[in-house]
Structure 1
């Protein structure tokens, strides 16, 4: 008996109620179906799952098959539809991710940016407080020199005229004051960070 006739005999047994005969049907077609689906299944798809669904669907509709026709062709048509359904599912998943993943990522990024902004604002306020404290440790002349340059934005030449000093001396004095204030703020910030 040839393979097609043997397969039809097992299908007729299943249609007659011998459910165990379906194992022989699967055994006779499994390599064909799994191979065909495996070659055509897109990345991310589960070829074994598609083949399994094809066999389940064929079993559910076994009474629709007309014995004597080509069972393998009938089964492959079912496998093709199962593969198409899997491709549709994969497209839906990809579409969902392309629509909503960027939104979720953008939302998470916006929350992180806001957290960072609040943290920097808090650090900035703390440093301003430290700067006020450090300014309080300077003598009146030093505070006045800083106020003229940074609050009143006076040119160096005008400050030099007011203090009867050279522009070079004012530059050096401002540099030393900035350095002293920077170090004072750094030490206070570090001390605040210690447990």
Structure 2
């Protein structure tokens, strides 16, 4: 005789399957945003006279990753981008790649990117319950906070040390990037808000 299942038992939920789907979705999002940051970096950069660090769209991609994906996945996307670039793929500003970038004045900005994505993602997560009409302002505030607290201080410090600048000279040189960062942060906020409206789960299920 074949065994008959107990009518009172409840089938176990397919937790491994759900976990696998979640992990696959996370991997796809992290990989997509890492590739997006790479595209932003290799687009034609603006090199101002006397500046050793070019102006690129990297920070736009970094902030967008943190805002949309959340602190953990956003950080992983930036770390994946950095790892691939350090491995030799020419996806840093100016089409460069490899360990030689560790000796450049721009190193501080690269080191700050994963930290900034994490902070922007964390702040955005804390603001996820605000009114939808305030989301663009909240996203802009999150990105700007990450820029001012992490990217600029660390980037300016390393740039000044590598170029032998005084603190005042380094701050003056770094201030050149502020207007562009304000524009990029505003653009990241607008794009992130549009993504949240199209895919509300990205705002509700933050990781």
| TM-score of the pair, normalised by structure 2 | 0.30
Q: Which has the bigger relative contact order, CA under 8 A and spacing at least 6?
A: 2
| TM-score of the pair, normalised by structure 1 | 0.32
Larger radius of gyration: 1
Structure having the larger proportion of residues in helix: 1
